[in-house]
Amino acid sequence: MTAWNQEKQNEQKRVDSVIHKLSDAVAALQSHLSGKREDVVQIRKNFWSDVTVNLENADDAIETAASIKQQSELLSEIERSHTSAETRLKTYKKLKDSPYFGRIDFREDGEENTEQVYIGIASYYDEATSSFLVHDWRAPISSLYYDHSLGKADFRAPGGTITGDLQLKRQFIIKGEEIKGMFDTGEAIGDELLQQVLGNQANTQMKSIVATIQKEQNAIIRNTSSDLLVVQGAAGCGKTSAALQRVAYLLYRDRETLQSHHIVLFSPNNMFNSYVANVLPELGEENMEQTTFQAYINHHLAQDFSVETPFEQMEDLLSGSGEPSRIDGIKFKASVDFLEAIHSYVDNLSTSGMQFLDIRFRDRVVIRAKQISEFFYSLDQRETIPYRMKKTSAWVLEELKKIERRERKKPWVEKEIQILDKNVYTKLYEKLQERNQYGADSFNDLQNEQKVLSAYVTRIAFKSIREKVEQSAFLDMKSLYSKLFQKNNKRIADLDTWNDICNQTLFNLKQNHLSNEDATPFLYVKELLIGFQSNAAVRHVFIDEAQDFSLFQFAFIQRIFPRANLTVLGDLNQSIYAHASDESFSMLRKLLGKKKPETITLSRSYRSTKEIVEFTKSLLKDGSTIIPFNRSGEKPAVVSVEGNNAHVDQVEKLIGQWLKEGHETVAIICRSAKESKKVYESLKNRMDVRLMIDEDAAFQKGVIIIPSYLAKGIEFDAVAIFDASGYQNERERKLFYTVCTRAMHELTVFYSGKPCPFIEGASENLYENVQ
Ligand SMILES: Nc1ncnc2c1ncn2[C@@H]1O[C@H](COP(=O)(O)OP(=O)(O)OP(=O)(O)O)[C@@H](O)[C@H]1O
């Protein structure tokens, strides 16, 4: 037997022994848990018989309270230990399937013995030998595995930096209790395992990468020193992966104080949310809060306006049906210039210009806007606007109370009483009877009855107005926002298309429609006036696909989560929205006023084969810094087709071939939803294919037809780009790059008619030209 085989056998013996111990631990925990479950049921059942309730005198009452407290503490202690045992059980079961993926041998300076450290998704401590049989990948010592090659190495422990000699680094693939692969490596993380992992099929759910985290990714995952961490990296370089493992790392490192609901991830759409939802549970952690910025906007504005989504905006621009000036408007409304114009406008409102709405009741004005304005400006101008708005709301509510009282005598109240629901009437009657046991009032007394009923009727009638006042709905937001779009010499932007932008904006507002570019600034103005609803409990905010965020949205997030550290991950080469700015990341530090910002750039791309990366990077104006991971495949193909029928035929043929080859996730990416629907109609009776134009749909295996902007963030085994002739405008270069970078193993670009200028710019030896 070779030394290597002998070594493998020894390792297998260790795997067997660890799994054996884990099986015992699982069995012990299971029996412990069923006992505990019984205990909890018993204590709950006997809760009141086990406490002595005696309220006769003060001393007895105190004793009773103490007894109840003791009993409930016992119960919650048992429940706590039950939950922690359940968590341990889940972890051990996972470890049993695959106990570890790495081993390092490290001799600390000054020590004689070399320590063998086996690394897995969680740690396992063996009481019998008082040792860790598996170390958590997030433990300080495990960073040696990710950060160093053999030789001198160090890691940061809570007590300081520990230096020593890294003597061995070994990787394992363990499945079904068996070592399926074992590699020794001198590299930080050897290529062999990574080759294997990346050569696999794409998944409909993202996988964790803990076994093969790269050094530069580890720097992101373990960064705890900055309050604004910006990660700029090429398509497929592992930004999302790093973000998710970072969440797991933070949850481990700060486990005493940090829980999953203290972390929020903003992602591009709900489909992406479901795509990444499995990574943390796979690592034995709970998912952080996941949301989209649009969900936040809708929550605040969708009640009063029809709000355009980013995808609807995109569709409008891609179909070319929108006004030409719209792009200027979109860019301006996402700019720092506009942000500053808003701040200075709002500052001026402190002394004059606030716009209020009349408060109407039953088609009558009961409080005039002018009165509200007078009250608002009578308040001390040194106070902030939100504070004065709160005072104004309180004043309006007081005024409403008076008006409500006066209304009680009006004829409409009498009419309402006549048609009052019988049940309501009975309830009021019962309530009054209860009250009358102690008071002089009597429901039978006609006058009192009338009083109570009219008070009830008016209170109900004013309820919705009161609620609206509490939400500051008397602020005339439409007119306040409109004032920013003046065509005369007070214009805030020096743009040739300014008048058109104003006309479009004012027209939309009149229709109670908020375009996507207006929604965020509109809400921003509103919150500046009434005060931001902030959440100080959230400690970390992650923004994925951050190149799609406007500066406004960043400014917003900073205000909503004032205590949170920000991790911003994006790729400026994938900025597909018209509001995108190449400076947005560099401006963040100043904009957000963070004290310890850091930027990490990732340039190695892991998703696609070398051939695909070489091709896609050449589509960019400056893609030279992107480095492909060394995994080979076929060159991408560029296929010219004539006419729509031939186009669809060729796509169908190719997809059939891909499926035969065993590809499981295959995408036909179209420019827009409109085009996707057309292609779907042509293909639906010819093959098993699904149309995905709804961002709420879950990502599934099979063949899908999807519009360009929805495909971002996700990946497929094979990608067919439908009609690349559609991507002509320089503005769409990055969109085209983004869709091509979705492919892991195969990429074919079809075009019919005009060639795509971005492909024409690429060197011909990077793709197969099929005529
Ligand atoms: N260290 C790694 N080990 C194994 N796989 C990795 C590693 N880093 C990245 N990957 C894989 O590369 C692919 C791309 O990763 P990910 O989606 O995180 O990249 P991204 O930078 O967010 O991409 P994009 O910007 O294009 O959306 C995924 O399949 C991921 O699992």
DSSP state of 475: B
Its pTM stands at 0.88
Gap from CA of 408 to ligand 1 centroid (Å): 67
Is residue 239 a known part of a binding site?
yes
Number of C-beta neighbours around residue 522 at 10 A: 26
Helix (H, G, I), strand (E, B) or coil at 118: strand
Give tens-digit pLDDT for 472-518: 999 999 999 999 998 776 677 778 888 899 999 999 999 999 999 99
In the block, tokens 């399937």 appear at 97
Helix (H, G, I), strand (E, B) or coil at 542: strand
In contact, 103 and 118? CB cutoff 8 Å: yes
> ipTM strictly over 0.95?
yes
What is the secondary structure of 170-234 as a DSSP string? EEEEEETTEEEEEEE-SSSS-HHHHHHHHHSPP-SS----GGG--HHHHHHHT--S-SEEEEEE-
Which ligand 1 atom is nearest residue 206's CA? 31
Is residue 240 a known part of a binding site?
yes
Gap from CA of 570 to ligand 1 centroid (Å): 13
Q: What is the 3-state secondary structure (H, E, C) of 319-363?
A: HCCCCCCHHHHHHHHCCHHHHHHHHHHHHHHCCCCCCECCEEECC
Domain 610-769 CATH class label: alpha beta
Gap from CA of 295 to ligand 1 centroid (Å): 26
Gap from CA of 182 to ligand 1 centroid (Å): 23
Is residue 726 a known part of a binding site?
no
CA 415 to CA 761: how far, in whole Å? Answer: 78
CA 298 distance to own-chain centroid:
15
Gap from CA of 88 to ligand 1 centroid (Å): 29
Mean pLDDT lowest for which of 14-18, 308-312, 416-420? 416-420
CA 675 to CA 166: how far, in whole Å? Answer: 56
Report residue 423's pLDDT band, with 50, 70 and 90 as the boundaries.
Answer: confident
Name the residue with the closest Cα to ligand 1, atom 1.
213
Which ligand 1 atom is nearest residue 241's CA? 18
Give the residue-averaged pLDDT of 263-278: 90
Q: What is the mean pLDDT of the chain?
A: 89
Burial of 456 (0-12, 13-18, 19+ CB in 10 A): buried
Most ligand 1 atoms within 8 A of CB, residue of 101, 145, 209, 631 to mutate:
209
Q: How many residues can be counted in the chain?
A: 771
In the block, tokens 């992650």 appear at 542
Give the pLDDT score at 745.
Answer: 95
Is residue 237 a known part of a binding site?
yes
Gap from CA of 736 to ligand 1 centroid (Å): 19
Give tens-digit pLDDT for 641-694: 988 888 999 999 999 999 999 999 999 999 999 999 999 999 999 999 999 998
Residues 6 or more apart in contact with residue 386 via CB below 8 angstroms: 528, 529, 530, 531
Most ligand 1 atoms within 8 A of CB, residue of 607, 716, 734 to mutate:
607
Is residue 502 a known part of a binding site?
no
What angle separates helix 3-46 from helix 58-97, to the nearest 10 degrees? 160
Gap from CA of 604 to ligand 1 centroid (Å): 10
Gap from CA of 241 to ligand 1 centroid (Å): 6
CA 315 to CA 516: how far, in whole Å? Answer: 12
Is residue 175 a known part of a binding site?
no
Residues 6 or more apart in contact with residue 417 via CB below 8 angstroms: 450, 453, 454, 457
Helix (H, G, I), strand (E, B) or coil at 54: coil
- CA atoms in the 13 A half-sphere facing the CB of 159: 3
CA 355 to CA 476: how far, in whole Å? Answer: 5
CA 176 distance to own-chain centroid:
34
Report residue 52's pLDDT band, with 50, 70 and 90 as the boundaries.
Answer: low
Domain boundary assignment for the chain: 3-96, 98-220, 289-350+498-602, 359-475, 610-769
pLDDT: is 595 or 191 the higher one? 595
Give the residue-averaged pLDDT of 201-219: 88
Name the residue with the closest Cα to ligand 1, atom 26.
235
What is the secondary structure of 373-408 as a DSSP string? HHHHHHS-TTS-HHHHHHHHHHHHHHHHHHHHHHHT
DSSP state of 110: T
Give the pLDDT score at 56.
Answer: 66
CA 256 to CA 158: how far, in whole Å? Answer: 15
Pocket of ligand 1 (CB under 6 A): 194, 197-198, 207, 209, 212-214, 217, 233, 235-241, 571, 574, 606-607, 713, 715, 741
Most ligand 1 atoms within 8 A of CB, residue of 240, 573, 745 to mutate:
240
CA 208 to CA 158: how far, in whole Å? Answer: 26
